[in-house]
Amino acid sequence: MTKIFDPITLGDYQLHNRVIMAPMTRGRAEANAIPGKLMVEYYAARADAGLIITEATAISPKGQGWVNAPGIWNDDQAKGWLAVTDAVHAKGGRIFLQLWHMGRVSHPDFLDGAIPVAPSAIAATGEAHTPLGKKPYVTPRALSVDEIKDIVADYANAAKRAIAAGFDGIEVHGANGYLIDQFIRDESNQRDDTYGGSIDNRLRFLTEVTSAVAEAVGAGKVGVRLSPKSQYNDMNDSDPVATFTRAAELLNPLKLAYLHILEALPGHMMAAAGERVTPHIRKIYQGMLITNGGYTKDLATNALETNEADAVAFGVPYIANPDLVLRFKQDAKLNIPDFATLYTPGAKGYTDYAMMA
């Protein structure tokens, strides 16, 4: 039976275990979205993960929209990330960079007054956390086809820069209500051109981005993250099973390193009502599948033994337990995260959690 400490091959890499560090925004980048020493320390401490997937990282100035989130659109940012990847590799780890465009859930305060872009001019309900405080989301501007092509190119260029900065690969962020997810789901995408309407049309942006990134850096260095039922950022789809199984089917020919599904387990506070989508994706997707969403060590072990997934990503446990793999191996007690410091500046609640001796 497969265990979480068994090695696994994802794309171009053999990993020493199946414990994946999920991407988590932490808001510790320095001025101009440059990763600094705190981020080096944070990621290096978690190098015992089979794979680290970084926090979401903006592909361009137009794609940013989170206070103190990092970027990967210029040389200074790449230099900051190189210090991170060097530190992780020095400890024997592997690390992928998650690529991000926030779309409609950015705010003009991040964009020099410009209106955020989206598939359709439909505002999300809620508030953006801007550098000037909380403000309601604005109605975005619908992208033209030419602009969509430019953003696809931005993803490919960001992927190339990431590999040059020492990353082992990249993850395309198609989840959680950001730009790619906004195209996928029919509540936020009401276009009437080749990027809207049918499921295949709504998935076109996802497949174009992923294909461009795979061509730029190699498919064995590329993963994709999707969240079929997440309602975060005011997201919904009328038929998530049909939409996301078709996404898996369209991604199959690309032979990616993995597909990463965020779908909270039943009983978890983030679980959505209705039929669970991950088992349907598992039947369709022919490559390696990572699951995420409220797993404990025991639940992850069961998921692997029952072939629900090939590896399991852990988010919240990695916040407070940089040595999570060791704690799992020894069945040790886990530290409890301080949720008040998830996004606050500085080391507190970021790099000050105790590790086992």
178 is catalytic: yes
pLDDT tens column, 339-350: 999 999 999 999
pLDDT tens column, 284-336: 999 999 999 999 999 999 999 999 999 999 999 999 999 999 999 999 999 99
H or E element at residue 133: strand 133-136
Render 67-121 in DSSP notation, one character per residue: TT--B-SSHHHHHHHHHHHHHHHHTT--EEEEEE--GGGS-GGGTTTPPPEESSS
pLDDT average, residue stretch 140-147: 98
pLDDT tens column, 170-193: 999 999 999 999 999 999 999 999
H or E element at residue 57: strand 51-58
- The CATH architecture assigned to 8-311 reads Alpha-Beta Barrel (3.20)
pLDDT tens column, 79-92: 999 999 999 999 99
Q: How does DSSP classify residue 130?
A: E
Whether the predicted pLDDT of 194 surpasses 80: yes
Are 261 and 295 in contact, with CB atoms under 8 Å apart? no
Exposure string over 233-255, b if 16+ CB within 10 A, otherwise e: bbbebeebbebbbbbbebbeebe
Who's near 257: CB < 8 A, 6+ residues apart? 10, 11, 12, 13, 169, 219, 220, 221, 222, 223, 287, 288
pLDDT average, residue stretch 44-51: 98
How far is residue 46's CA from residue 351's CA, in Å, rounded to a whole number? 11
How far is residue 336's CA from residue 10's CA, in Å, rounded to a whole number? 30
How far is residue 229's CA from residue 185's CA, in Å, rounded to a whole number? 10
Q: What is the per-residue pLDDT for 50? A: 98
Nearest to 180 by CA among 104, 252, 107, 114: 104
Q: What is the per-residue pLDDT for 348? A: 98
pTM of the model: 0.98
Q: What is the per-residue pLDDT for 354? A: 93
Render 108-129 in DSSP notation, one character per residue: GGGTTTPPPEESSS-PPSSEEE
How far is residue 258's CA from residue 221's CA, in Å, rounded to a whole number? 9
Structure tokens at 307: 């072939």
Name the catalytic one among 42, 155, 178, 295.
Answer: 178
Q: Where are the beta strands (DSSP E) in 156-281?
A: 169-174, 222-226, 258-262
Portion of the chain with pLDDT greater than 90, in percent: 96
Structure tokens at 326: 């060791």
pLDDT band (50, 70, 90) for residue 2: confident
- Mean per-residue pLDDT of the chain: 97
